[in-house]
Structure 1
Amino acid sequence: MPTTIDPTSLGFLLAENRNQPMHVAGLQLFELPPDAGPHFARETYEAALDTEEVAPLFRKRPTRSLSSLGQWAWTDDEQFDIEYHVRHSALPEPGRIRELLELVSRLHGQRLARERPLWEAHIIEGLADGRVAMYTKLHHSLVDGISAMKLMQSVLTSDPDKRGMGLPFEARANTRSKKVREATERPLTEIPMDALRSAFGITADAAGLPAALVRTLNKGVRNEASAFSFHAPKSMFNVNITGSRRFAADDWPLERIRAISKASRTTLNDVVLAMCGGALRNYLREVNRLPVESLVSMVPVGLKSRKAESESGGGGNAVGSVMVKLGTDLADPADRLAAIHGSMVAGKEALESMTPNQIVAMSALGMAPSLAIPMLRLNGIVRPPFNVIISNVPGPRSTQYLNGAKLTGTYPVSIPMQGMALNITCNSYADDMGFGLTGCRRTVPHLQRLLVHLDAELTELENATGVS
């Protein structure tokens, strides 16, 4: 039976076009187990094709027909073809990480076919060091970036001896929560009472929003950290983009980042943002495109609202967004880190005084200009609300395995958008912090140079804080 596509998911479907594919993805690298034969990748691929039952999330496709009363709805793909969705590839010689990232870049620029369920999994061999890679992409209408990473990680284990494990699309391996299952399997005829309650809750909270809105707007006007930004400069990233993608990735020891955090009395995320700020400064100087004013990043953050419960009875936790000045106008790494820390603290304080519903509403208002500018074709004409998106997603703290294969690296592959040509997403795993840089191939030339600058900036931060 068809099920309704919720407004948020529908928005991601309708926002998609050739220049703006709306899928999220992840790249994982595996070291083969000691007992693996020479055809481990092929055997993994063939085992995937023999999947007895595919999870419902991976069988549904978007349709609009008389049976759904003209509305967009999810329907089960009665002609599901697993050989279309699961693919086996080999890298050309010499099989470096460079060849792997080139392949991922091409795959990530290709739209998912609407006439089929919106996902693909690629098992990739041919790396010179013998490792096997897996690139998996899912449409943002199915899952958000954080949920996608958790879905990929849910099938892993800390037991290196465990075998017979399934991949994320297998029903027996799928560990989605009850809430997610209900959201994806709700029939068209059912009235979503929880959404109705949420609507009443937001209405009850709205009385407190105007005062919070005025305070936040004032901070934005004064060029202080806030959910709003009025002072992001025009940059080479804030223009119309093409559909081709470039992906670059690497990781650095968490121990080095934590040491800087401890020495500077800042957070680990502050240090990550400072690495990005310094790297972007040097990259833009290299191409002679560094704005005089600091770049501004939109940073998603988890918050504990001081108003733990509103009149609607909502909980105290919420996810909001803070506009952070990255200090690209500052030459000294220590000054840049201090400025970012202050920006983050002020931005969080601006949101934590609100209820969870107000945080969501405020963050949505802060994001609104980034959607309106490309719709009105004003990219490059007016100032953008922010210049880049930087996210930090926590991952497993222990070493993980898939059928004995050791996970040695995991990297998010994100969504550049019209007017926002670069997306930086980080993912911690065991002892490392992995950086995934996704950009428009034409708008952000030589994207891999940002990795060099990230490495150099980490060393500069160590020197500036007395860690090295």
Structure 2
Amino acid sequence: MVTPIDPTGVGFLLAENRSMPMHVGGLQLYRKPEGAGRNYARELYEHMSSTERIAPLFLRHPHRSTRTAGQLVWEQDEQFDIEHHVRHNALPKPGRVRELLELCSRLHSTRLAWERPLWEAHVIEGLRDGRMAIYTKVHHSLVDGVSATRLMASSLSPDPDKRGMQPPWGYREKPARDATDTAGVPLSALRTALGITAEAAGMPAALIKTLTKSVRNETSALSLYAPRTMLNQQITGSRRFAAQHWPIERIRGVGKAAGTTINDVVIAMCAGALRSYLLDFNELPDESLVAMVPIGLNAKKSQIPSAEGGNAVGSIMVKMGTEFADPADRLRAVQASMKDGKEALSSMTPMQILAMSAIGQAPAILTPMFRMQGIVRPPYNVVISNVPGPRTTQYFNGAQLVGSYPLSIPIHGMALNITCTSYDGLMCFGLIGCRRTVPHLQRLLTYLDDELKALEKAAGV
């Protein structure tokens, strides 16, 4: 069975190379059920690898030939081997979180082969505190961050006694729906090479206004240039992963006191952390760093990415206020920039947002493609995403999920990616960067903690 690949997915596939694997991942930490034996992880692995019926999303791989006129399409894998995709790992002693993050860094560095369905899952045991972990990765051509989170949530339950639960790749019956692609965008809107229809072309007023702001370096829904930093250069395929969580109540408290949103506070935390990090290397530019902040289209419209996969993501370009020494000034700069970006998108339809985002992404993709690093300025410095997850305690076959940390995609010119997932009262940060280009990445965790304390102090919390 052959199905079309949406234009965003094609872009992720074509942009991929050895230095830029284009998969997203997740690390979930679990506490074993009470009374679980020593072989619990092995038993869970066997359960997950014995799934009888696989969801179609997890059976397809990219293919192109003369039969498809050279176009990339999804083709079902006729030789699917689940043991290639579901694996069992054990950490070396002493089994600290450090060893776990090092393993995830290595796993996230390797590309997924196009000859097979583009996903892997690893059951990991050997943590000295008795917990176990599951690391998964799925190609970004299959899912965006929201879809990946929903896939994970679909295999969890608030019931600690529930057993026999399907992993994310297990087949599930779904309700009938209209003829749309997996991202929820009408197929008629995806028939051109860029997926931009007449509807998307009908945004000249919004585009002119946004371009004018961008030329003035007033970021909004689009950014044409940002200051060049050590983060904005060629990368290697080697990755380093760092993860930590903070109580959402602390972040919400700052937002409430400052009259802003949780997301604004998260970006301000990142701004302060990056300011401290770049100061360590005497690399802080005089101008503000610019963050690209993806937004799911469901944040604005009812067309939403589903648990079947797909990509439906727009973006806002945010000035992070890193030129300010005062954390309160940085938060105000982030708040103003986010507000301006949201207002720019409020007059656009989902397809127009996708078109605007494609324009914004073009410099980031074309610059490394034509080897223009150092010649042109980057359109933004870092990607910061915040993906909502389950709000209550969740379980998988009796194992309690105690932390969920995302791993995303660094690219040439953008060596660092920061993604957050909310879960059960926690904001879980996942930082992924090029091992060579972003040295001592773990320092950013300390600086994030310092910045949250500084924001609390500035807000009088």
TM-fit CA distance, 1:85: 0.9
The one-letter amino acid of 1:139's match is: H
Deviating beyond 6 angstroms after TM superposition, the runs of 4 or more aligned structure 1 residues are 197-201, 303-309
* Alignment-derived partner of residue 370 in structure 1: 364
Letter in 1 for 2:2: P
Distance 2:452 2:196 in 1: 44
* Matched position secondary structure for 2:293: strand
- What does 1:191-270 align with in structure 2 at a 5 Å threshold? 192-193=187-188, 195=190, 202-204=197-199, 206-207=201-202, 209-270=203-264
Structure 1 residue 324 corresponds to structure 2 residue 318: yes
Measured at CA, do residues 2 and 197 of structure 1 come closer, stay the same or move farther in structure 2, by a change above 3 Å? closer
1:5: how far off?
2.8
Whether 1:143 aligns to 2:138 is: no
Q: Is the 8 A contact 1:2 1:68 kept in 2?
A: no
Does structure 1 conserve the Cα–Cα contact (< 8 Å) formed by 2:200 and 2:355? no
Aligned residue in 2 for 1:188: none
Where 1:426 maps in the other structure, the secondary structure is strand
Shift in alpha-carbon separation, 1:417–1:196, aligned structure 2, 3 A: closer
Unaligned 5+ runs, structure 1: 185-190, 310-317
How far did 1:43 drift? 0.3
SS at 1:297's partner residue?
strand
How many residue pairs end up in the alignment? 451
- Partner in structure 2 of residue 404 of structure 1: 398
2:130 counterpart residue number: 130
The DSSP-based 3-state class of the residue aligned with 1:320 is strand
CA distance in 2, matches of 1:29, 1:307: 33
- Does the 8 Å CA contact 1:298/1:321 hold for their aligned counterparts? yes
Contact 1:20 1:242 in 2 (8 A): yes
Distance 2:214 2:266 in 1: 23
Q: Secondary structure at the match of 1:54?
A: coil
Once the 2 structures are TM-superposed, how far is the Cα of residue 330 of structure 1 from its aligned partner?
A: 0.7
Q: 3-state SS of the aligned residue for 2:133?
A: strand
Aligned to 2:19: 19
Relative to 1, partners in 2 of residues 1:382 and 1:336: Cα closer, same or farther, differing over 3 Å?
same
Matches within 5 A, 1:92-131: 92-131=92-131
Residue 80 (structure 1) shift = 1.4
Three-state SS of the structure 2 residue aligned to 1:25 is strand
1:190-234 Cα deviation digits (max 9, x unpaired): x95564699999414634x22222211221223323122245100
AA matched with 2:350: P
- The alignment status of 1:392 with 2:386, answered yes or no, reads yes
Quickly say closer, same or farther: Cα 1:337–1:70, change in 2 above 3 A: closer
CA distance in 1, matches of 2:204, 2:197: 13
Moved more, 154-163 or 341-350: 341-350
Contact 1:305 1:353 in 2 (8 A): no
3-state SS of paired residue (2:241): strand
- Write the letter of the residue equivalent to 1:137: K
Residues 142-174 of structure 1: CA distance to partner in whole angstroms, max 9, x if unpaired?
Answer: 112221121112100001110111211122xx4
Where structure 2 has 5 or more consecutive residues not aligned to the other structure, the ranges are: 304-311
- Confirm whether residue 292 of structure 1 aligns to residue 311 of structure 2: no
Q: Which residue of structure 2 aligns with residue 187 of structure 1?
A: none
TM-score, normalised on structure 1?
0.90
Q: CA 1:103/1:170 → structure 2, altered by over 3 Å: closer, same or farther?
A: same
Q: Is the 8 A contact 1:304 1:352 kept in 2?
A: no
Deviation at 1:358, TM superposition (A): 2.5
Are 2:301 and 1:301 aligned? no
Deviates more, 1:371-380 or 1:357-366: 357-366
Find the aligned partners of 1:7 and 1:319 in 2 and give their Cα distance. 12
> Percent identity over the alignment?
63
What TM-score do the two structures reach when normalised by structure 2?
A: 0.91
Contact 1:276 1:454 in 2 (8 A): yes
Partners of 2:191 and 2:412 lie apart in 1 by: 33
Q: Aligned with 2:406: secondary structure? A: strand
Structure 2 CA distance for partners of 1:147 and 1:358, relative to 1, 3 Å:
same
Change beyond 3 A, Cα 1:122–1:302 = closer
- The residue number in structure 1 matching 2:307 is none
* In the alignment, structure 1 residue 47 sits paired with structure 2 residue 47: yes
Instruction: Report the CA distance between 1:46 and its aligned residue.
Output: 1.2
Q: Describe the SS at the equivalent of 1:120.
A: strand
Q: 1:343 aligns with which of 333, 337, 347?
A: 337
Rounded Cα–Cα distance in structure 2 between residues aligned with 1:166 and 1:256: 34
Partners of 1:112 and 1:280 in 2: CA distance: 31
User: Which SS does the other structure have where 1:100 is aligned?
Assistant: helix
**Counterpart amino acid of residue 115 in structure 1:** E
- Per-residue CA deviations over 1:291-328 (Å, capped at 9, x if unaligned) read 1111100112357999999xxxxxxxx85311111111
